[in-house]
Structure 1
């Protein structure tokens, strides 16, 4: 099985890039499952039902989220019915939505699990023990598990990957919006990448306008961060090949598309 994973989609420009590039990426790579992190798609923070459906229509099979999952009130009206969307499984008990979903691929099943780190983010439930708990359920269904670990700190992401090495096919990091250069397969067969990168503006700072960010660093005064919706874009992604019988990863390769690294057709 081949999985295509695309990192944090920021704003309308990010959605436009998904709509533009996903068909060609699918044509070239032929993934069986396409997963997209959509937690920043609605004005830079959160997601709406309309945008969730737009991602599905663009060829996404599963939408993952993160710490901005509930920034838009609209999500409360549709999250429990959004069977192809997952929010971090280690949100406290009682939070709406699901932490993982199962995708049927021919005669096999892939579980997509979303977890969130706690270092420099909200002090939600422990992702390590929650992973143990959820994997006990998932393993009754399938040995094939993909993990989007939405975290701020590289050490926490790598620690979880080593903790789950051999138990899941991949642990791929999101949230920091900058693609890292450490894609690898760990000793027991789990593919790892600290951060897959983002999909949105190539000219801003992490997808938003530069000036408010710089002003905030200079003054420490509050500033409204707005996504850039025009101009040059970028898409950060990776693909992972896994064995259908064991869920062990055999390959991971990063994808970077921007004006300096254009997609070759």
Structure 2
């Protein structure tokens, strides 16, 4: 299977990058399944139902969230009616929606998508992500009823992401980090066939401070005092993520970092 994962969509510029590039890439790269992390797609904080619909209409088969999952209050209701939205497994036992789901592609392939939040340097104490994912993997083994498994690990620390990648090796087709909005250069296939990337980066304007207009973040770093609200940068956005190909057993056989448009160097399969 040819699978594409795109990192955190950041505001209007990020949504525009998805609209501009994803339909073309689905055809050009013969993509069978596409996952988009959309947790910052609405004004840089959360995802609204309307913007979720736009990402899905542009070609995403599934949209994952993150620690800002329900910053847009209408998502509390929308996620219950839209099974293609995946929130973190360990967000809260009371959270609506699902943290894992198996999707069926047009060709009949079955793809597990799941997401968990990390614990290191995060603003809130979340439940153990490893035990949360253990339950999902036991229910859906890669050599059982699914053809591919994608894990979106939403957290700050690269060490925690790398530990999760090795723990997922042999159980997932791809373990990709999100949340920092900074793409890493360490795409690889681990020893038992799990594709790995520490962070997919963001789909947004990189002439910014992790997707936000520069002035207010700079002011706060320099003076330690806020003056205005953060606002998403609106320049030309780069679509950023990772592409994998899987074999008949669901293991990654090829992995490539993806950069399309905007400031970053162009790359892809």
Structure 2 length-normalised TM:
0.93
C-alpha deviation, 1:232, in angstroms? 2.2
Residues 85 and 101 of structure 1 are in contact (CA less than 8 Å); yes or no, is this contact kept in structure 2?
no
Residues 69 and 87 of structure 2 are in contact (CA less than 8 Å); yes or no, is this contact kept in structure 1?
yes
- For 1:186, the equivalent position in structure 2 comes to 190
C-alpha deviation, 1:260, in angstroms? 5.0
Structure 1 length-normalised TM:
0.95
C-alpha deviation, 1:26, in angstroms? 1.4
- For 1:116, the equivalent position in structure 2 comes to 117
* Residue 43 (structure 1) aligned with residue 43 (structure 2): yes
- For 1:138, the equivalent position in structure 2 comes to 140
Structure 1 unmatched runs, 5+: none
- For 2:16, the equivalent position in structure 1 comes to 16
Comparing 253-262 with 152-161, greater Cα deviation is found at 253-262
Partner Cα separation in structure 1 for residue 208 and residue 175 of structure 2: 27
C-alpha deviation, 1:23, in angstroms? 1.5
C-alpha deviation, 1:16, in angstroms? 0.8
User: After superposition, where does 1:48-127 map in structure 2 within 5 Å?
Assistant: 48-105=48-105, 106-121=107-122, 122-127=124-129
* Residue 25 (structure 1) aligned with residue 25 (structure 2): yes
Partner Cα separation in structure 2 for residue 184 and residue 64 of structure 1: 22
* Residue 255 (structure 1) aligned with residue 258 (structure 2): yes
Residues 6 and 235 of structure 1 are in contact (CA less than 8 Å); yes or no, is this contact kept in structure 2?
yes
For the aligned residue pairs, the C-alpha RMSD in angstroms reads 1.5
Residues 10 and 232 of structure 2 are in contact (CA less than 8 Å); yes or no, is this contact kept in structure 1?
yes
Structure 1 segments, 4+ long, off by >4 Å, are none
C-alpha deviation, 1:126, in angstroms? 0.4
Encode CA deviations 1:128-175: one digit per residue, 9 max, x unaligned. Answer: 111101211223632521101111000000001111110111100111
C-alpha deviation, 1:261, in angstroms? 2.7
Q: Give the count of matched residue pairs.
A: 262
Residues 7 and 237 of structure 1 are in contact (CA less than 8 Å); yes or no, is this contact kept in structure 2?
yes
Structure 2 unmatched runs, 5+: none
Residues 143 and 168 of structure 1 are in contact (CA less than 8 Å); yes or no, is this contact kept in structure 2?
no
* Residue 228 (structure 1) aligned with residue 228 (structure 2): no
* Residue 208 (structure 1) aligned with residue 208 (structure 2): no
Secondary structure in 2 matching 1:232: coil
Partner Cα separation in structure 2 for residue 260 and residue 145 of structure 1: 28
C-alpha deviation, 1:102, in angstroms? 1.4
Partner Cα separation in structure 2 for residue 164 and residue 259 of structure 1: 32
Secondary structure in 2 matching 1:201: coil
Residues 8 and 201 of structure 2 are in contact (CA less than 8 Å); yes or no, is this contact kept in structure 1?
yes
Comparing 146-155 with 235-244, greater Cα deviation is found at 235-244
C-alpha deviation, 1:202, in angstroms? 2.4
With over 3 angstroms needed to count, the CA separation of the structure-2 counterparts of 1:16 and 1:52, relative to structure 1, is same
C-alpha deviation, 1:262, in angstroms? 4.8
Partner Cα separation in structure 2 for residue 151 and residue 177 of structure 1: 11
C-alpha deviation, 1:220, in angstroms? 2.0
Residues 257 and 267 of structure 2 are in contact (CA less than 8 Å); yes or no, is this contact kept in structure 1?
no
